[in-house]
Amino acid sequence: MGAILAGGASRRFGSDKALAMLDGRTLLDHARAALAPHCDAVVIVGRADGIADWPRPGMGPLGAIAGALDHAAAQGFDRLLSAPVDCVRLPTDLAALLSPAPAFLDSQPVIGLWPIAALDDLRAMLEADGDLAMRAFARRIGARAVPCDFAPPNINSVEDLERLTKG
């Protein structure tokens, strides 16, 4: 199962980043199209009409991944491929690159392949309210950092989006 992490507050962007337009489509639509070839199903996490973050909103990417892992487990999946909503392109060989799980792109740790079995460790981290960094979670579960020449776009501002549009 694939999960698009789309629940951030978009403070730096200034408006709902998921709905920002790029080439006539929302970033959310671009992210879904980029992730879909790598997964049997794709869900949106952290939005009112999607899967809820766990244990509550505001926990960052790890809260979104926990919600998605829980949903994926309930649907019978054994792993989850995650990507942020502003990731409008992904490597064509992403799933193979990250197999076996757990693994993540060294250049963008939110893009990762996470086993459902990691959910208990992630829940423990989130309940402890300690270090909620992606790399801390990755270390805890022994995930591999996979080097890759692919540099995913990082759209944190309207200016970043404009640069991507022009480039």
pLDDT tens-digit profile of 45-97? 999 889 999 999 989 999 999 999 999 999 999 999 999 999 999 999 999 99
Structure tokens at 69: 């892992």
Q: What is the pLDDT of residues 101-117, one digit of tens each?
A: 999 999 999 999 999 99
Q: Which residue has the tokens 């070839």?
A: 37
DSSP state of 11: T
In the chain, the amino acid numbered 96 is A
Q: Which domain holds residue 158?
A: 2-166
Q: Would you say 102 and 63 are in contact if contact means Cβ atoms under 8 Å apart?
A: no
Contact 80, 114 (CB under 8 A): yes
pLDDT number for residue 43 = 98
Strand order of the β-sheet with 144-146 is 42-45, 2-5, 79-84, 108-115, 103-105, 144-146
Q: How far apart are CA 86 and CA 88, in angstroms?
A: 6
Domain count, the chain: 1
What does the DSSP assignment read for 82-151?
A: EEETT-----TTHHHHHPSSSEEETTEEEEEEEEGGGHHHHHHHHHHT----HHHHHHHHT-EEE--S--
Are 114 and 101 in contact by the 8 Å Cβ rule? The answer is yes
Residue 32: pLDDT over 70: yes
Query: Going by C-beta distance under 8 Å and a sequence separation of 6 or more, which residues neighbour residue 130?
Result: 136
Contacts of 62 (CB under 8 A, 6+ apart): 122, 125, 126, 132, 134, 137
CATH number of the domain to which 148 belongs: 3.90.550.10
The answer to whether residue 152 scores a pLDDT higher than 90 is: no
